[in-house]
Amino acid sequence: MGNLPDKVEYISQLNGGLRLDVPSTLMKSTFSTGMKNVKVTKSSLKCRNGYDTIGNNLPLGSPISTLRQFRSYDGTVHTVVFTHDGIYELLNDGTWSSITGTITWNSGYSNPSKVSFIQNTLLATDFSNEIIEWDGSSSEFSTISTSVEYKARDLIAFKNRMMYVNLIEDGNTVPQRVRWTQIGTYDNFTDGYAGFVDLVDTPDEIMAVEPLGESVVIYKENSIVLASWIGGKNVFSFNTKINERGLVAPRAVVNLGNSHLFLSHDNVYRYSGGSTIESVSDPIEVEMPDLIDSNFIDRSIATVYGEEVWFIVPMDSEIPDTAYVYNYKQNFWYRHKISTTGIGTFVNPDNKTIGSLKGDIGSLGGRIGNLEASNIRPNIVIGDKDGYVYQIDSSSSTDNGTKIENYWDSKDFVLGEEYKTRYNRFRSIDFDARGDSLEVLYSTDGGESWNYIGETKLDSSYEWYTLWFDTSARKIRFRFRNYNTSETFSLRTFKIVYREGATR
């Protein structure tokens, strides 16, 4: 048996992403049975970027809820952070300066800060206090000027007017209400075809609102309503389009322009404005809904970044700590371990081409645009429970100095003929990689336990490396990983060297 020739199984593409809905021995070799902090590209696997702090006087004292940048009419770029009990602007010297003023601000995990920009004014609501405004030049926020006290779950600028949803009006709770202002205003609720409607077709309350073409999508807990702009005295028509599926968390929907992706209780769905929704998370459906902590699912957060949509959900703690990342153009998923209480996007105001941007630079959930076509690419910004603000950036390979644990697991390979009854003797693993270093492990029991093969230092350019080992098994999967501080790797392909039907 020892004289049997070696055979080679080439694994030339690793770009299928995470797949859990197919038996591990039957799936294509492009897919992964498990991955952590590794992203998939068309040509290779890469470690996700790390993050570093933004600002020099952190922490801000309470959990971060939202970061929003906007550009005033005078060209000034403002970077604003909303915490659970305050609001801060990032000054040119890197200092976070309070602009809370005398208002009361106490958002929370279940009533996060929601913001919108209209008429050179940043509006914000936390559903606990009155709607507030800031023009970028005043020293602090102030409450909008109305005769009635308005609080709202969400708000959006649409067709040169403001729309507010799920309101508390002078202390009266109206969770199914949609109210819009006079055209050209954000605080006139009485004149010029301003109005409201209560969406009582279904009893569930409104969670969030997003624009879609000439319409506005109103996401309720268990239904979806489409508000179509018709103009004239009526302004909008309202039609319930989806029943028995809705939005599970106020911040768990993203806008892709011609469609939305949103997190429901059982899946991630795409909605494009009609009477149907489309599941997009089938490869991970057997894992994600079951592992999310249902007690804190309403804290889930989503954002869009380039071709990726991040759904950050609570699994191992009450704070969202696991990001399921969906590449909506390539249609595959991967998974990161990252903890955050709030999210946004950030463009360095010193960038010389930032003046080409108009209005809002980036938003929670990608509401106004992800700037994918721009020569400026915003970075994802996250905040934590202690009040630190971080920027995820390609220049960082740690999470603010903490090492990032990265790995990618292959399928279970069953090689040769008559595999159901035949063992193979595995001899080596060869791989094409670059970076700092790479460890390889193998499992013969479907990932229940792992055996260490070895570690090799990598070069800055792609090279082939070989790690020798000796084991006999009917099936085998491999794990490629790096657990070292400030180190990364990229992996393009690998090959398995074995002897068919041989044992030790």
At residue 5, the pLDDT reads 84
C-beta contacts of 192-197 below 8 A and 24+ residues apart: 193/232, 193/233, 193/235, 194/161, 195/235, 197/236, 197/238
How far is C-alpha 4 from the geometric centre of its chain's CA atoms? 50
At residue 240, the pLDDT reads 97
At residue 302, the pLDDT reads 96
pLDDT in tens, 24-79: 999 999 999 999 999 999 899 999 999 999 999 999 999 999 999 999 998 899 99
Q: Please determine, looking at this structure, whether the domain spanning 7-48+404-499 carries the CATH number 2.30.30.100.
A: no
At residue 359, the pLDDT reads 44
Look-up of token digits 């060869």: 430
At residue 256, the pLDDT reads 96
- Asked whether the beta carbons of 427 and 470 are under 8 A apart, the reply is yes
How many Å apart are CA 210 and CA 332, to the nearest integer? 24
Q: 391: which strand partners?
A: 52, 381
At residue 376, the pLDDT reads 54
Helix (H), strand (E), coil (C) string for 453-500: EEEEECCCCCEEEEEEEEEEECCEEEEEEECCCCCCEEEEEEEEEEEC
Q: 438: which strand partners?
A: 456
Question: Residues with Cβ < 8 Å from 362, sequence gap 6 or more?
Answer: 68, 69, 344, 345, 346, 347, 368, 369, 370, 371, 378
At residue 346, the pLDDT reads 85
pLDDT in tens, 383-426: 999 999 999 998 999 999 999 999 999 999 999 765 455 789 99
For the chain, domain boundaries = 7-48+404-499, 146-250
Grouped pLDDT means (10 residues each) for the chain, 504 residues: 80 94 95 96 94 96 94 92 97 96 92 94 95 95 93 96 97 97 95 95 96 95 95 91 96 96 96 97 92 95 92 96 96 95 84 44 37 54 96 93 97 78 90 98 97 98 98 96 96 96 69
At residue 367, the pLDDT reads 38
At residue 354, the pLDDT reads 38
